[in-house]
Amino acid sequence: MARILIVDDSPSQLLGLKRIVEKLGHESLTAEDGAAGVEAAKRERPDLILMDVVMPNLNGFQATRIISKDPDTAHIPVVLVTTKDQETDRVWGMRQGAKAYVTKPIKEDELVATIKPLLPT
């Protein structure tokens, strides 16, 4: 069982992702914005982070950059989960340190196929 941090400012998106993660048998942790996500990543050291992009305070690109550059959290794979579906957004997200990029609305099978190889075995 992996510990997965879900960072999203939308309660309905948080709930939907939480359901998918828990259905797979993993533990879910949540944060409501990028700043809270960075703090939770440092405190909880999850196995994977599902990160929204469009959020108040600190957006997902900024939070991903902070997490991927910090030696204490750089090993945690970040998957950006967002409505931003332009190729430039995808490239920018990967340059910030994300390991994968999934667009909303979430397709459960696509999310599962994306996160499975990134989780510890």
Q: CA 108, CA 20: separation in Å to the nearest integer?
A: 7
Q: Is the pLDDT of residue 121 over 80?
A: no
Could you tell me which residues are beta bridge partners of residue 31?
7
Q: Are 55 and 61 in contact (CB under 8 A)?
A: no
- Model confidence pLDDT, tens digit, residues 57-105: 899 999 999 999 999 999 999 999 999 999 999 999 999 999 999 999 9
Architecture of domain 3-116: 3-Layer(aba) Sandwich (3.40)
Nearest to 75 by CA among 28, 27, 120, 110: 120
* Residue boundaries of the structural domains of the chain: 3-116
Structure confidence at residue 120 (pLDDT): 87
Mean of per-residue pLDDT scores for the chain: 96
Calculate the alpha carbon distances from 35 to 15, 52, 111 in Å: 19, 12, 24
